[in-house]
Each structure stands twice: as C-alpha cells, then as structure tokens.
Amino acid sequence: MTINSDKKELRLAMLAQLKHNQNKTEKEDSIIHTFINEDVFRNANSIGITMSMDHELDTRWLIEYAVGLGKKVYVPYCDYKTKQMHFVRFTSKEDIVKDSFGIDIMNHQQEVGTQPELLIVPGVIFNEYGYRIGYGGGYYDKFLSQYTGQTVSLIFELQLGEVLIESHDIPVSMLITEKRIIINEDNQ
C-alpha cells in the first residue's frame, strides 16, 4: 500500500459517512452561526469559499450573507489542464454553471487570481492540528503553498479523524465544527 492508496481508502470511507450525516441542517446552522460571529469572519473584507457539494456543509447561504454584508466573495476555478486553481469573483447565483466534472463555478473570469484575506478550506477528513485529506487533486495544497492570508475549515465533527501527513501538506489555522472551535496557534 502507498500513502496515496491509504488516503484514498480513508477518503472513500469518510465520503460514505458524510452521505448519511444525521441532522445535517442543524449541524450546518450551528457551524455557520459560530463562524459568522468570529472575528476571523467579521474582520475579513474578502473571502474565498467553495460552492459546496451535497455531502459538504452547504455554503450557499453563507456566500449570499457575506455578499450582503459587502464582503468580496471569491470562488475557485480549476484549470484541469494545468492543474492550477485560482479564485474568481462571485457575482450572483444566476451566474453559476457546472464545469465538466459537475462542480459549480462562475460563468465568467472576473477578478481572476485574487488572494482573499480569508480562505475557507474544504476537505474530507481533518485532524485536530488542521491537517487534512482533500479530494485528491492537490489544487488546494498548491494554492495554500503560496497563500498568506488566514485559513479556516467549516466541518462536521464526524470529519475529525486520522490524516496521513505528507511533507507538502499545509495545515488550516482554525477548524469550526458544530461542537467546538479548534485554533492551531502554530498555523496562524
């Protein structure tokens, strides 16, 4: 077994659990309420955030809320040929389209390459030190290697578990679950 195949097994097991996440809406409400009351959110003028998939914490309300507060919101756009990810300005839900993998993206390239002040980092499994197993493409790992702002992940408590750490992995500074906030001072 290689570390990649071990990560793949852990990822698949967690994705199966997330599809049967009990009381998902209540947990999401708790996580988002905690997050929007944290200084890391209140003080950020610009935020990078994914448009969520069904098994993830639903980010649609949070995106609209941040835009309503006058914050600049940026969502990822992946160039699958060059294996690079950059962020584009979120304009409205009417501008959302699906890419070739069925992932929601903006139908434009406004303000490409922007580095938001706060980045909400997705992932499948996290440990309490902020290390994560993502979806396997390496897009966030590459972006985080050059990112200088603050990072936070909004996750369900059940996503905390075993993570295989590699030398290129960069931990997230703050994890918010429906039960707690975990701050990793070393990652600030």
Q: Which residues are annotated as a binding site?
A: 7-11, 51, 56, 132-140
Query: Mapping DSSP to helix (H, G, I), strand (E, B) and coil, where does residue 11 land?
Result: helix
Q: Please check whether residue 39 is in contact with residue 186, taking contact to mean a CB–CB distance below 8 angstroms.
A: no
Question: How many degrees, rounded to 5, is the angle at CA 51 between CA 46 and CA 56?
Answer: 120
Q: Please check whether residue 117 is in contact with residue 45, taking contact to mean a CB–CB distance below 8 angstroms.
A: yes
CA 186 to chain centre: 20
Q: Compute the distance between CA of residue 139 and CA of residue 174 in angstroms, rounded to an integer.
A: 20
CA-CA distances (angstroms) from residue 40 to 34, 76, 94, 131?
11, 20, 28, 19
Binding site membership for ATP: which residues? 7-11, 132-140
CA-CA distances (angstroms) from residue 24 to 51, 85, 92?
17, 29, 25
Binding site membership for substrate: which residues? 51, 56
Closest to 77 (Cα-Cα) out of 60, 96, 55, 54: 96
